[in-house]
Structure 1
């Protein structure tokens, strides 16, 4: 009877040690899960912020383009007026010529304004850059989602392994945890992006 009690005590002590290591492993997985959650939240916030900025930039671009088109129409109208009325008084001709020069200068500023970065050329580049940043953030998010799901599954399997006492669930948990960690890491670094994303 005493030998059986000693054997049970040794077995219990080994099981408790194993369970403690599994608990530490689950704690590490929980930390990785939290990191994946933060990464996912940040990726979506970045995507939304860049999308809003891109929309605002394209709206500003469109407003400036409409203004430039109006100026060009006005210049064409003034030029037609000068061509149709060659005997126009000199003062009126001079005033129209000055307006045409002013409108053409405004047209150039609307087209390109590197000093303020608000010309159509600069806005086009800025809008495209913001769209690219939005797209990258949107590519990151699914990997965080996959990472979170896999890490949660790994935690559940490790918890069941404590209760069941088997090693196969623990090994499966480890494999899934590695996949979850890799997906989370890929969310940060984007070292692999499938063609469909």
Structure 2
């Protein structure tokens, strides 16, 4: 074999090796790009879920506050009626005039009885208790939403780390954490107490 033939064979072997190496690098780049694209899409999906859960948490906090204010107002109105009832009963017991006594006693009795406007003392008490329960339920739901938010925020951070580290296990951990967060939010929406909050 001549030197030129040997050189050609060596050049061909080098070209084949370089082509094979380039093909392997190209496949690796495609796999890395696919991984990055998928993780980026997951970050976007989790960010949207986080925004929705954050809105639900804010709504629950607002509902809890409003129900608490309504309950307080209702109980204050009920207490004002009880004071008025007590004054009327005292007045009816202290007067000598039987007509005035009957009128005051009748008015005191009317304050306690149910009416169409639901302003009877018993009705106001029941309404106030219902509002208080609704406020507690909204606060409990808010706690569940906040836990879900936290889990999703952590998942997004883990996905950012996975992008830099090119780590599939970190990606899987982030997905599990995001699923947990979404599950907590769904549980809060369904009215389940989360982790013993009640």
- Shorter-chain TM range is 0.7 to 0.9
Which residue number corresponds to residue 174 of structure 1? 175
- Larger RCO (CA under 8 A, 6+ residues apart): 1
The CA deviation at 1:194 is 4.5
Which residue number corresponds to residue 144 of structure 2? 143
The structure with the largest alpha-carbon Rg is: 2
Greater shift, 104-113 or 49-58, is seen at 104-113
Matches of 2:75 and 2:34 in 1, distance apart?
Answer: 61
1:16-165 matches, cutoff 5 A? 16-78=33-95, 81=96, 96-165=97-166
Stretches of structure 2 lacking an aligned partner (at least 5 in a row): 1-17
TM-score under structure 2 length normalisation = 0.87
Matches of 1:172 and 1:65 in 2, distance apart?
Answer: 59
1:175-194 matches, cutoff 5 A? 175-194=176-195
**8 Å CA contact 2:141, 2:193 repeated in 1:** no
Q: CA RMSD in A?
A: 1.3
Matches of 1:102 and 1:70 in 2, distance apart?
Answer: 13
Stretches of structure 1 lacking an aligned partner (at least 5 in a row): 82-95
Matches of 2:164 and 2:20 in 1, distance apart?
Answer: 26
The CA deviation at 1:2 is 2.1
The CA deviation at 1:118 is 0.7
TM-score under structure 1 length normalisation = 0.87
Cα 1:58–1:182 shift into 2, 3 Å: same
Deviations 1:137-187 (A, max 9, x none): 011111111111110111111111111111110111111111111111112
**8 Å CA contact 1:39, 1:187 repeated in 2:** no
